Amino acid sequence: MPPPSWGISLSDAVVSQSGGLSTSAASANPATNSVNGSLEVICAWPVSGSYGAGSRVLFYVLVATAVFARKLDWIKSAALSTALPLSASAAVHGIVLAALHHDKAVDMDVYGAFQMCAIGTLVIPLMIKLSRSHEYSTYIGRRIMFMWAGLVLTGLVCLAIEFFRAQTFPCHENGQGSPISSNFNRFPSGENTACELVCSENNGPFSPIRVGSANNIYVVPAPRTLTFGATTLVAAGCCIHTVIWMVVMTERFNIRAKSYETNKPISGISGTTKSTVNDVNLMIHLFLSAATAPVSGCAAVAIIIVGEINFFSSPVNYQAEPLAAIGQSQYEL
């Protein structure tokens, strides 16, 4: 099945704000936003406890500790030894979610996995650039960091694909024939509001990783703080950042591994040695690092703020497991 044209949906929203709407775009995708003023909904499994508020705050604290306490090796190592496995497990979860994709339903854990992978891939490379001890780390330590970066990169690619394939559907009326308001804050969430979708624990959709007490599924409005299209673009940007970081760090490690050849003259260039070239490369890397550090830091802070606003919005927070009910599923009475 071809992926949904969320790009047309985004252009429809822009055109509608300027006073008009393209007729061809409206007919191309019946499940796009604001074609006839209907509310866009999704069939979704709620955010699980693995990405609850407590887990996210713990991850933020660990990452911040690794950055601001980077000169204290014992604190930095303890924080990294916990933060790296958390982001790596989120990447594996993202790969599984993409492999078990369902066309008619969305697992809201994609937002939790994206949050941990994006923050990890933005902040951990920043910490390595600011901490000189990692430049002289052991061979095994460098390979572990590259394996982690490759795993998180794969998870981000899979999450971007999953966000791209997510579909929204127009909701005109509830199961009792009453019209639905286009204001998502007034959406009557519950079993009686099916919006002509097959979305229930008994009738499906079903997921192999959503079994037992975690199989609750609901019809909720589509997220608007971080839409599926916007998150796709952000995930792609984080992938590009990770690839650039891996290429730059590979070159820097190779320069240090071949430092014994730095004093050999380069044939064909009078008076120039490899040491001179390495000095120039080092200056370029220092300049790029000085520009990258504030950009990566600001991007990470922006993702945390916007992501948390999205997590506490009504579509994403609906029936999510609260801190007071760890390991329990909350059902609406």
Instruction: Please state the three-class secondary structure of 163-198 as a single string.
Output: HHHCCCEEECECCCCCECCCCHHHCCCCCCCCCCCC
Q: Over the stretch 178-201, which tens digit does the pLDDT of each residue have?
A: 666 666 666 766 555 667 788 888
The predicted model scores a pTM of: 0.76
295 inside domain: yes
Instruction: Give me the pLDDT at residue 255, please.
Output: 55
195 inside domain: no
Is 12 in contact with 74 (CB distance < 8 Å)?
no
74 inside domain: yes
33 inside domain: no
* Domain membership of residue 159 as a residue range: 49-165+226-262+271-320
Region 170-175: mean pLDDT is 72
Tokens describing residue 5: 């044209």
Query: What is the number of domains present in the chain?
Result: 1
Least confident of 14-23, 163-172, 251-260: 14-23
Tokens describing residue 187: 């959406």
218 inside domain: no
User: ω into residue 205 within 30 of 0, thus cis?
Assistant: yes
- Which residue in the block uniquely carries the two structure tokens 């780390």? 137
Say whether pLDDT at 34 is over 50.
no
Instruction: Give me the pLDDT at residue 331, please.
Output: 40
Instruction: Give me the pLDDT at residue 280, please.
Output: 53
242 inside domain: yes
Q: Over the stretch 94-128, which tens digit does the pLDDT of each residue have?
A: 999 999 998 889 999 999 999 999 999 988 877 77
Say whether pLDDT at 158 is over 50.
yes
